[in-house]
Chain A
Amino acid sequence: MTIIIQEDSFSISKLILELSEKDNVGAVVSFSGYVREFSKDKQLKYMELEYYPGMTEKTLESIVQKAKSHWDIEQITIIHRVGKLLPKDIIVGVIVSSRHRSSAFKACEFIIDFLKTDAPFWKKEISDKGEVWVAERQEDIIKKTNWNKLD
């Protein structure tokens, strides 16, 4: 398991390649999230992302452990950026490798769904309409709740 929180950008393809080169890998599934240039009726200038050092890493580790308890996973890399992000910048990457594709697909979706609602990160949008802290999305809560049937 690799968990990275950093200000710098990163190459998702390099991280995918790294996992694909390890032993016992038959599938690598990745999710990458980007900053949208428009949010509702606003044109975004930039975004500021903050996190809770310590708790964020601890929460991500716990999400990874849960994923590993449900699916047969080889490796997991989670990378999340903080600080100032511009439109179209990459924000987050989740890369999962497994022997067979089904486990990697499911675990990748599980991890990003829980990251969205449980890992302490906060986004502030600075747009042509001013500054606003992003509110949680009901859709994200529903997505997480849908995983309850796993337990």
Chain B
Amino acid sequence: MNLKLLFFANLREQFGFSQKEFTLSKEVRTPEEFLLIMSKQIGGEWIKLFEDKMLYKVAINQDLSSWKDPIFEGDELAIFPPITGG
């Protein structure tokens, strides 16, 4: 399963990238499950992000979503802190 992941603000700085393509060996059903798999496979800061996920927001294909919303092949996921524009 292929997913595009975007990070913004402090997450972009912590993880050292703003966007990356991921190819996962099995289907992932939700953004929450994606973080769980990354935290198991890679560990490190992914574990912290999985634990702290409620402090962050997630968008699926540029629509604000919840951690338990469905994701599909080729989707664009974005994870970012609360918004502070204006």
A interface residues, Cβ below 8 angstroms from B: 33, 49-52, 54-55, 58-59, 80, 91-92, 112, 115-124, 133-137
Q: Can you list 21 residue pairs at the A/B interface with Cβ under 8 Å?
A: A33-B86, A50-B8, A50-B9, A50-B12, A54-B62, A55-B59, A58-B62, A92-B85, A116-B83, A116-B85, A117-B82, A118-B64, A118-B83, A120-B8, A120-B80, A120-B83, A120-B85, A121-B85, A123-B85, A133-B81, A134-B84
B residues 39-86 near A (Cβ < 8 Å) are: 59, 62-64, 78, 80-86
Chain B residues within 8 Å of A122, by CB: 8-9, 80-81, 83-85
CB <8 Å contact, A123 and B78 = no
Chain A residues within 8 Å of B81, by CB: 122, 133, 136
B interface residues, Cβ below 8 angstroms from A: 6, 8-10, 12, 59, 62-64, 78, 80-86
A55-B78, A58-B62 are contacts. A123–B84 as well, Cβ < 8 Å? Answer: yes
Within the assembled complex, what's the spacing in Å between the Cα atoms of A133 and B82?
Answer: 10
Chain A residues within 8 Å of B10, by CB: 133
Within the assembled complex, what's the spacing in Å between the Cα atoms of A91 and B84?
Answer: 12
A52-B62, A118-B64 are contacts. A136–B9 as well, Cβ < 8 Å? Answer: no
Shortest Cβ gap from B48 to chain A (Å): 16
A52-B78, A55-B62 are contacts. A91–B86 as well, Cβ < 8 Å? Answer: yes
Which of B63, B80, B85 interacts with A49 by CB under 8 Å?
B85
CB <8 Å contact, B85 and A136 = no
CB <8 Å contact, B78 and A136 = no
Within the assembled complex, what's the spacing in Å between the Cα atoms of A117 and B86?
Answer: 9
Within the assembled complex, what's the spacing in Å between the Cα atoms of A52 and B59?
Answer: 11
Across the A-B interface, the 8 shortest Cβ-Cβ residue pairs: A121-B85, A136-B82, A55-B62, A122-B9, A116-B86, A134-B84, A123-B84, A133-B10
Kindly report which residue of chain B lies nearest to residue A136, judged by CB atoms. Answer: B82
Chain A residues within 8 Å of B84, by CB: 116, 121-123, 133-137
Within the assembled complex, what's the spacing in Å between the Cα atoms of A137 and B84?
Answer: 8
Chain B residues within 8 Å of A116, by CB: 83-86
CB <8 Å contact, B9 and A124 = yes
Shortest Cβ gap from A130 to chain B (Å): 13
- Excluding A119-B86, A120-B80, 19 further A-B contacts by CB distance (< 8 Å) are A33-B86, A52-B59, A52-B80, A54-B62, A55-B78, A91-B86, A116-B84, A116-B85, A120-B8, A120-B59, A120-B85, A121-B83, A122-B9, A122-B84, A123-B84, A123-B85, A133-B9, A133-B81, A137-B84
